[in-house]
Structure 1
Amino acid sequence: MSSSDTPVAAARGVASLEEARDWLKARRIEDIECIVPDQAGVPKGKMMPTEKFFSGTTMTMPGSIFMQTISGDYPDLPDEVDYDPAEGDLFFKPDFSTLAVVPWESDPTAQLLHDAYDGDGNLFDIAPRQVLRRVVGLFEEKGWKPVVAPEIEFYLVKPNTDADYPLEPPIGRSGRPEIGRQSYSISAINEFDDLFDDIYDFSELQGLEIDTLIHEEGAAQMEINLRHGDPLELADQVFMFKRTIREAALRHDMYATFMAKPIADEPGSAMHIHQSIVDKDTGENIFSGEDGEETSQFLSYIAGLQRFLPHVMCMLAPHVNSYRRLTRHSAAPINVQWAYDNRTVGLRVPNSSPAARRIENRVPSSDANPYLALAASLACGYLGLTHDLRPDKAIEGSARNLPFGLPRGLLEAVALFESCEELGDIFGHRFGAVYRAMKEEEFETFMRVISPWEREYLLLNV
């Protein structure tokens, strides 16, 4: 069932400007947050009164918002980017299907995601929503429709205003911090009942659909699973969920963090992506045949993930911290082996009925931009399908002692992405050049910081 068939969907989205006017009037909305996700998945945009929004003035912002690093810097762009800020701002048009309230604001406020257009009226090709839309369009040209279901892990931590101090678990209702591993513990979730009540309430008011909430392995580490659906809609939901969870946590004197590895001795946080492909005409899952058995297309999709995932790691693990999660003897995968119902591999095939046959990509980290992570994962599977690739044999037993099959750091990941012509054709060479420049600039910023490890082991020993 699609999200549009459920009662909660009425809380989010309209079809036109006139419907938006009625929707906002009925809720007495005073202000609108006009939001654009940037390359890191950070909300950018403008706040404006409702009257100004309907005045007919198109929102404009510089295209450089899609070229700013997570630290707020701007890289030196290569010549092939062909972007000149002197040519004027980009134009931003609302996607009314994303209209929703902002439930944590004291005054009646709405939020609305926007798409970027250049001066000729073309969608701006490096904007994350457009990158994902373009990849989904490749499937549509073949008569296919991708279906995804993300799972997002995050930590709750005490407020931390000094970056030199390690993060700590927050105090729950018992008055004590969590100290041990509490996988799937209901009592550990109950420690934060009031927070999760707010998360569920905020989500319902925004039309966001939570499938399940569980406690993960780490101390105060949680996971929220979303219902399956259209990739762009689900990326929008992940984008909005992250903001919702952070805002709800602040209400309870906590931080919610989606860092891939926020605490040294605790497991990292992932964004697992379940994915399948259906035939647009029949609605049937192309991973299963009429007899219910696996199809060659199912194996080709896995093979595409195996071959190309290492080349898109800079989007699945986009920050220097991301690679601290991908370590041996942890819950995170270190290679692209695949197996049936095996959580040690990068590519897991969960137990399911033939109609629900899918592949779980366990490689992405929770710090990934959901638009780019979904686009990257789907692009790899698409290349497997269109190149009719064949995967390695499914493994049995643990994959954690097998060799690394993923890059160990950000610069290696960027180099792998740059070296793959097939992915360059899919994502566009301008996007690749901008993204590479941003990641290299972020790495240079990171290298200017001296870590405690260096002072501990090098200060008096070398």
Structure 2
Amino acid sequence: MTECDFYVFWFTDLTGRWQQHRFSSDAVDDAKFEHGFYASSMMTGWRQFGESDLLFKPCRNTEFKDAAEDSRARSFISEVWDEQGVGPYGRDPRGILAKTMAAAAADGWQFQVGPEIEGYLFDEVRWGLRANDCFYSISEPEGVENARESSNPENRGFVLTHPFHHLAPTTDYGLKIRSQMVEMMIRSGMRPLHCLHEAGPSQFEIGIMHDDPLKAGDSVQLFKRLARACGAKAGKIATFMPMPLAFGPGSGMHINLSMWEGTKNAFYADGSVSKLCMNAIAGIMKHARSLAAFLAPTSNSYLRLSHLYRNDLEVTYGFGNRSAHIRIPQVVDPAEARIEIRFGDPSANIYLAIAAVMLAALDGVENDLSPQADELKGPVAYGPRDIRLSKPNSLPRTLEDAILALDTDKEFLQRYGAFSAETIEMHQQILIRRANAQSLYPNPRDFLEVLDC
């Protein structure tokens, strides 16, 4: 084997967090790859203490260069199998996506996915959560509050009161770090698409070239690791929290999706999108409320959605319209015909999110569904909303709403046996714990509203 100091084997738990097993090079031989190895299964949503270990099987064809690794290491991704080694473990997110892809391919369908991930670069994040003390404090170099801070070596006196997209280098404090992220991605064998300053102060977006869903999911996991490592080396905190700043732009994770029959993009027809593409959109719109439990799986996700969309309005689609939940980008090349699902965010487990979206699209195609709403034209008017007027097919307003929506609309996820009933239940239990914990603590704004009541 190639000389190295460590072998690192990566896997993803049910919450979407990337974790690793690390072995000294002397402890790894061909048998580790051929037969796998048993290790603890005490991951969130998997097993409890005292239950059997699971079998981890590293895949040779997943080897990648980890540009965030300081030591000489060879990095691979592991499949997760049950303790008997009979087959893939039903709660392994990457395995769920692989099973969905294989079954769809047997029906003649291949998918391409291009993720776009947004995040923030902060100087400092402090927070506290106790029974009698609850606060958070964020410092970021491009905010108006830093215009008078002489202690910040990066402060050049610019106050960014205009849109933050596509800033010039003189006002773009994060350009150097974003460029380093892209360099690390390329060194790791990834294919970055674009790198830009997003709408918020110190916010960034990185797009990844379209690939098969499994490789796209792997790329998102690796990119998150590289971005955090790159930020840490610069003394910054890279976060993919959906809504870290009140009233600021949230961080999304847009999923660009297309369906193919062999070498033909089935979403393209006669200079526009095909009927099959509209079927897929209709399937995603039909299941959008339950999809939110996978694409927006945290309480913080719904702060972003409330800011980004009129949550009382029905789920929308639109040609080139970034106000729509599902956008149909204008394209020149037929190979680029696709849809962009915009209501997800980076707190999602990328493998579960992609698998769920694929299954919703397939449901729309199989049942020849058509979008029930008209195409969204023009921007959506923001402002105070009357929650009593919410449409039945609007996005959930809270994580609790998403959990309940999934409880009544989950049959489409069990197509091909991709999501077992047990996996869906465990995913709901994780979300229920998050939702319950959120409601136990007062929000700092509560004191503004009712301290003097």
TM-score bin (small chain): 0.7 to 0.9
Given that 1:182 and 1:188 are in contact with CA atoms closer than 8 Å, whether structure 2 keeps it comes out as no
1:391 equivalent in alignment to 2:371:
yes
Per the alignment, residue 56 of structure 1 pairs with 31
Q: Is the 8 A contact 1:328 1:400 kept in 2?
A: no
What stretches of structure 1 of length at least 5 have no aligned partner?
A: 1-20, 69-82
Q: For the residues of structure 1 that align with 2:206 and 2:312, how far apart are their CA atoms?
A: 20
**Residue type matched to 1:142 in 2?**
D
1-structure distance, mates of 2:76, 2:42: 21
Aligned to 1:103: 67
Distance of 1:55 and 1:128 partners within structure 2: 26
- Which residue does the alignment assign to 2:342? 362
Higher helix content, 1 or 2: 1
The answer (yes or no) to whether the contact 1:334–1:346 under 8 Å persists in 2 is no
CA contact (8 A) 1:335 1:345 kept: no
Query: 2:292 corresponds to which letter in structure 1?
Result: M
In the alignment, structure 1 residue 247 sits paired with structure 2 residue 229: yes
Q: Which position in structure 2 is the counterpart of 1:168?
A: 139
Which letter maps to 2:100? V
Cα gap change, 1:313 to 1:278, in 2 (>3 Å): same
Q: Does residue 30 of structure 1 match 2:5?
A: yes
Contact 1:332 1:362 in 2 (8 A): no
Q: Deviations over 1:13-68 (max 9, x none)?
A: xxxxxxxx2xx32xxx2012221111222122321111212273533233341417
CA 1:33–1:120 in structure 2 vs 1: closer, same or farther (change >3 Å)?
A: closer
Counterparts of residues 301-320 of structure 1 (less than 5 Å): 301-320=280-299
Matched position secondary structure for 2:306? coil
Query: Which residue of structure 2 lines up, in the alignment, with residue 182 of structure 1?
Result: 164
1:261 deviates by: 0.1
Equivalent-residue separation in structure 2 for 1:188 and 1:417 (angstroms):
47
In the alignment, what sits opposite 2:207?
A: 225
CA contact (8 A) 1:148 1:229 kept: yes
Which residue is 1:92 aligned to? 56
Preserved CA contact (<8 Å) 1:333 1:362: no
Q: 1:454 offset after TM fit, Å?
A: 2.0
Q: Report the Cα distance in structure 2 between the residues aligned to 1:143 and 1:421, rounded to whole angstroms.
A: 24
The verdict on how the C-alpha distance between 1:224 and 1:452 changes in structure 2, with shifts beyond 3 A counting, is same
Q: 2:113 aligns with which of 119, 143, 148?
A: 148
Task: Tell me the SS of whatever aligns to 2:139.
Answer: coil
The 1:198–1:398 alpha-carbon spacing in structure 2 relative to 1, beyond 3 Å, is closer
Q: 2-side partners of 1:177 and 1:115: how far apart?
A: 49
User: Kindly tell me: are residues 161 and 432 of structure 1, through their superposed partners in 2, closer, same or farther at Cα, counting changes over 3 Å?
Assistant: same
Task: State the AA in 2 paired with 1:434.
Answer: M
TM-score, structure 1 as length reference = 0.84
Deviation digits for residues 155-212 of structure 1, max 9, x if unmatched? 1111224342322213674555864331121326752343234212321221011111
- For residues 188 and 359 of structure 1, do their structure 2 counterparts lie closer, same or farther at Cα, with a shift above 3 Å needed? farther
Q: Aligned pair in 2 of structure 1 residues 331, 243: CA closer, same or farther (>3 Å)? A: farther
User: Contact conserved, 2:37 with 2:56, CA < 8 A, in 1?
Assistant: yes
Unaligned runs of 5+ in 2: 129-134, 142-151
Aligned match of 2:198: 216
Contact 1:153 1:223 in 2 (8 A): yes
> For the residues of structure 1 that align with 2:218 and 2:244, how far apart are their CA atoms?
24
List aligned pairs for 1:318-357, cutoff 5 A: 318-328=297-307, 335-353=314-332, 354-357=334-337
Q: Distance in 1 between matches of 2:413 and 2:428?
A: 12
Matched, 1:199 2:191: no
Q: CA deviation at 1:293?
A: 4.6
- Give the TM-score, by structure 2 length: 0.86
Q: Structure 1 pair 417/32, CA: closer, same or farther in 2 (3 Å)?
A: same
Q: Let me know the Cα RMSD of the aligned residues.
A: 2.4
Tell me the secondary structure at the aligned position of residue 69 of structure 2: coil
1:154–1:172 CA distance, 2 compared to 1 (3 A)? farther
8 Å Cα contact 2:320-2:328 kept in structure 1: yes
Deviations 1:305-333 (A, max 9, x none): 11012111111001110100011566999
Structure with the higher strand share, 1 or 2: 2
Q: How many angstroms apart in 2 are the aligned matches of 1:110 and 1:151?
A: 27
* Structure 2 residue identity aligned to 1:342: N
Which residue of structure 2 aligns with residue 415 of structure 1? 404
Structure 2 vs 1, CA of residues 297 and 105 (structure 1 numbering), >3 Å: closer, same or farther?
A: closer
| Residue 352 of structure 2 is aligned to residue 372 of structure 1 | yes
Q: State the identity as a percent.
A: 24
How many residue pairs were aligned?
419
Q: Once the 2 structures are TM-superposed, how far is the Cα of residue 455 of structure 1 from its aligned partner?
A: 2.6
The SS at the match of 2:281 is: helix
Q: For residue 124 of structure 2, what is the aligned residue in structure 1?
A: 159
Q: What is the match of residue 271 of structure 1?
A: 253
CA distance in 2, matches of 1:194, 1:338: 36
User: One-letter code of the match for 2:136?
Assistant: Y
